[in-house]
Amino acid sequence: MTELTKELKQSRSSRFSDMWTSIYSNKAALTGLVIIALLVVCAITVAICDALGIQILPYDPNLADMDNAFVAPCAEHWFGTDQLGRDIFSRVIDGTKISLSVGVAAVSFSLILGTILGALGGFYGGKLDNIIMRFMDVILSVPSILLAIAFMAALGRGLDKAVLAIGIVSIPEYARIARSCVMAVKANDYIQAAIVSGDSNLRIIFRHILPNITSPIVVRATLGISIAVLDTAALGFLGLGVQPPYAEWGDMLARSRGFIFSAPYTLLFPGLAITITVLAFNLFGDGLRDALDPRSRRR
């Protein structure tokens, strides 16, 4: 038993080493990973400092100073100031924690619920599968952003409502992936052996099937965070997401769109923050997909 455990540990270590080697050799994926790491460190640092009452940013991101409105980018204000005199650099950095937290929370919610529903439908089949997948088809028949707006209109404005709305519209994607993977895996011999040995269906699903279908789901979740960040910005742009005075990239774009010609920098930097974040997750997600798929690994 000890030798088998050692072999399993060595196998997992080898797979992780191969995955990291693949990502490291993929410069685009490595670049995306570095950017994501910087964003995460930034978001966590700002959140901790806010909780402790420590001012780490150059300026208070929510403090208006009308005497310094529309200051162009300079040594004192790297990204300039907005129409209320707030430092744009501080607001962009502060907005990182909101965009990432909403993206991660929404994807976590949709991943867990979607995977469970898809796994149950794929394993049991029949009427349960039809009911679950037809409901997923109904959700997919409506554009995700429109459905998220409808949920926000029903639930009300706010950060928690945005997480719930974005999470709900993303459930079908994970349900369909989990269902197809479960249907492929449940025909394997070790699943049949577990059934013969008397394991319960739920034990088979959560112990034997789900651990073997994590790769495509993790890859989709990585790419899903970029979509969630975009949806968060879209809801903020429409005034349905995070409410003022808190900094959020989509809301910053919405409140600066009237100054696109007189003060274009007020839109440029929040827009770049969204673009770079989405691009980083897409690059890393593509590299992770290649790393977890043995057929596409670079040699």
Residue 299: pLDDT band (50, 70, 90) is: very low
Which of 281, 277, 259 has its CA nearest to residue 88?
Answer: 259
Indicate the class that CATH gives domain 81-296: mainly alpha
pTM (2 d.p.): 0.85
CA angle 15, 101, 35 (to 5 degrees): 55
Give the mean pLDDT of 13-31: 77
Domain residues of the chain, as ranges? 81-296
End-to-end Cα spacing for the chain: 34
Which of 245, 242, 266, 246 has its CA nearest to residue 256?
Answer: 266
Write the CB contacts of 61 (distance below 8 Å, at least 6 apart in sequence). 86, 87, 90, 91, 93, 94, 95, 247
Which of 293, 291, 285, 286 has its CA nearest to residue 103?
Answer: 285
Segment 111-152, tens digit of pLDDT: 999 999 999 998 888 899 999 999 999 888 888 888 888 888
